[in-house]
Structure 1
Amino acid sequence: MKTQFKTLILAVSLASLTACNANSKNRTQDLAISEIVIKTTSKDKNPEIKVALLLDTSNSMDGLIDQAKAQLWKIVNELSYAKCEEQSPNLKIALYEYGNDNLNADEGYLRQVIAFSDDLDEISKSLFSLTTNGGNEYCGKVINTALNQLEWGDNKEDLKLIFIAGNEPYTQGNVSYKDASKLAHQNDVTVNTIFCGDYNQGISTKWKEGADLTHGNYMAINHNEATVHVASPYDDKILELNEKLNTTYVAYGSTGRAKMEMQAEQDSNARSYNKANAVSRTVSKSSRLYKNSSWDLVDAEKEDGFSYDEIKDSELPKELQGKSKSEIKTYVEAKAKTRKKLQDEIATLNLNRRDFIAKQTKDSSNGLESAMIKALKSQAEQKNYKWE
């Protein structure tokens, strides 16, 4: 995909070919040959995990936003280990903010920050753009808006989840949360509610009922709890490899340079929390979920239909301008080989890092990351997703 935000487009004709559910295999095989003949230009499509994150950005939610910024890469890394039978699911994340008085009152004090995207740098940038103010928190309205605006698709094997977090009554606003839940259920979308405060208070203000209506998880978190980042003996080496990894990107096109600068900016944002968080981002960058085909030639070459003939010489980096197609391909292939070697090194170090951290900590956190991963795994298991 070559659009900046990489909006999700579902190839409906191939939906049955990507089924996770073992029970669907027979009917998939019956349709496979005819669909391949008819849709010769369609790509094989892995299952997808689609997560819409709806965050309350009213005055009291600074801690929630801080947790989201600090824990994004841990969540992404956990999802990178997911398997659906023999396939590795892709990840799409959308972000909304609501309950902020700086937002348009006529639209319900909410805003789509980013539509479904697999551009992890754009998602990180969007999170770091959030500020708090106000407000009026209308849960039913923001859920309804996310359901109507986003491209959820109709593949029954995709995992489609909403996570809404806030601390005011779930019942506020002129859109009924019950109607929003009904719409979610009709679209095979599970709504998970995260109340920022006392567990029983969340129940009395209907946050649990909001989750129950779509068979989602209700969770209460301490949104003011500081994120704990555990240092490991492998961190310095992983960060050193990150610097080398950044040199393997070959920016092209009208946005290439800006996107490379954004990559560096998000590295800096991750480091703003501490070294361990920067390490988590590096691990994400070395995973299959970090894709940059819209501006990086190494990733672009992996896309079906990519051609150097479509790129103007002026859109290439200076070191490749005036070079022949074969010279460019040789250069890019060398970068790809170096990147793969670095990614493998990072992955090996990260296995040791994960083991070290597991021995140092107990899973006692009640923060955003813990709540989301718990819900994701429990609901993914119902569609035969497993974790490596």
Structure 2
Amino acid sequence: MPIRLAERWPEVGSDRLLSECVPPPRFAGVRFETYRPDEGEPSQGEALAVLIERGGVLAEPRRERSLWARLRGAAEAGPEKPGFYLDGGFGVGKTHLLASLWHVSAGPKMYCTFVELTNLVGALGMRQAVEVLSAYRLICIDEFELDDPGDTVLISRLLGQLVAGGVQLAATSNTLPGRLGEGRFQATDFLREIQGLAAHFDVRRIDGPDYRHRGLPVAPDPWSDAQVEKAAEERPDASCDHFVDLYHHLAELHPSKYGALLDGVQAVGILDLRELTDENVALRLVVLADRMYDRDIPLNTSGVPLDRMFPADMLKGGYRKKYLRALSRLIALANVGMDR
């Protein structure tokens, strides 16, 4: 009998959120040595070289800072800016490089997505979050993005205090730090916070085509309902849900629980996929897509093709990059699902 995600109600405490702040299974084995820069895209090799250099510094045991350095809030010896920020498109290896930096660095260290970081602060509260996270030497933040004013103010305060305490940062994003929030809210009203965030980072651009789709079709043809249901029945620990049931259920769960929703799931089936009309539904599905991709869970769908799930007006709006990332990842998982 297939698993029904819409019938699961996971509970996730702050202890679990902290314990899961490591690279996801897909990136558990990556290293700088396994990154293959595209010779036609020099920015990839340049980013690799700079991160290897920074990793060499972070691989050394943490040094105790002098009283003067602590009073000044200076970061420990190393690059002038306490943060490194990889800006680039989808599928160019930014997460591979970020996870590689985490692996080579001496602890204590933390790895999370931006959404996981905001969820963690929400679970702990700002004061406790600063106290707990200040113990880390390095915090790696994947998919850095600002979706609303609340996140902007919260993360600005948090990272400002962490940097002052000597924590080093590394982040990936599809948007330059000075342009975070554009098209999503009145970013001009929060220029001080956004510019403050940008000031923490040494920014490097990394270019190239999405490796997940080099030579692959835009999206595989959807299966019939019967095919998706049959695959879910035959595969161990597979789920199968109607699309409407699934997105209604996601609305009742905090996004911090989407990872736990997938505990033990080895394949996902979705029936009657439809073109989205609600931005809130679309954004929840982006988070679910990220958690599925982290866990390398194959996907099978019926209904509209995946590349028609986000309508043209959404793909032109403020969340365009989020939706394109989700499509890139879902199509990669669907291609795997078709082969099994």
Q: TM-score, normalised by structure 1?
A: 0.32
Q: TM-score, normalised by structure 2?
A: 0.35
